[in-house]
Amino acid sequence: METSTWKQLEAIMEAYALDTNGGPEVLRRVTIADPVPGAGEVLVRIAYAGVNYAEAEHRRGVFGPAEGWEVPGLEASGQIAAIGSGVEGFRIGQPVAAYLPRFGGYAELVAVAAPFVLPLPQQFDLTAAGGFGCVAPTAYGVVSAAARVSAGDTVLIHAAAGGVGSLAVQIARALGASRLIGTVGDPAKVSYAQRLGYDLVLPRAGFAAEVLDATGGRGVDVVLDPVGGPVREESLTLLAPFGRLVAFGDAAAAPDVELPMLSLWKNNRTAGGYNIGDLARRAPELWRAHALTVLDLVAKGVVRIDVAEVVPWDRVRDVHKRLDAGSTTGKIVLHVADL
Relative to beta strand 239-247, strand 269-273 is parallel
Compute the average pLDDT of residues 104-127. Answer: 95
Domain ranges of the chain: 12-132+305-335, 142-277
User: Among the CATH numbers 3.40.50.20, 3.40.190.10, 3.90.180.10, 3.40.50.720, which is that of 142-277?
Assistant: 3.90.180.10
Stretch 229-246: mean pLDDT, rounded? 96
pLDDT surpassing 60 at residue 5: no
pLDDT tens-place string over residues 176-188:
999 999 999 999 9
Whole-number Cα distances in Å, 13 to 32, 62, 107, 219, 269:
6, 27, 7, 52, 51
Q: What is the pLDDT of residue 196?
A: 94
Residue type, 330: G
Q: Where are any strands of DSSP class E within 134-178?
A: 154-157
Nearest to 308 by CA among 333, 335, 330, 336: 330
Query: What integer pLDDT is reported at residue 4 of this predicted model?
Result: 44
Average confidence (pLDDT) over 39-51: 98
In the predicted structure, residue 276 carries a pLDDT above the cut 70: yes
Cβ–Cβ under 8 Å, residues 83 and 73: no
Residue 10: pLDDT band (50, 70, 90) is low
Mean pLDDT of 252-272: 87
Beta pairing partners, 45: 79, 109
Give yes or no on whether 12-132+305-335 and 142-277 have one common fold. yes
Averaged pLDDT, 26-44: 96
pLDDT value for 252: 82
pLDDT score for 259: 78
State residue 180 phi and psi, 5-degree precision.
Answer: -125, 120
Q: What is the pLDDT of residue 282?
A: 97
The CATH topology of domain 12-132+305-335 is: Quinone Oxidoreductase; Chain A, domain 1 (3.90.180)
pLDDT tier, 3 (very low <50, low <70, confident <90, very high otherwise): very low
pLDDT the model gives residue 256? 84
Whether the pLDDT of residue 254 is over 90: the answer is no
Q: Is the pLDDT of residue 1 over 50?
A: no
Closest CA to 192 of 173, 214, 165: 165
pLDDT at residue 6 tops 50? no
pLDDT value for 12: 87
Question: With 90 as the cut, is the pLDDT of residue 322 above it?
Answer: yes
Specify whether the CB–CB gap between 78 and 95 falls below 8 A: yes
Rounded Cα distance, 31 and 70, in Å? 12
Supply the pLDDT for residue 65: 94
Q: What is the mean pLDDT of the chain?
A: 94
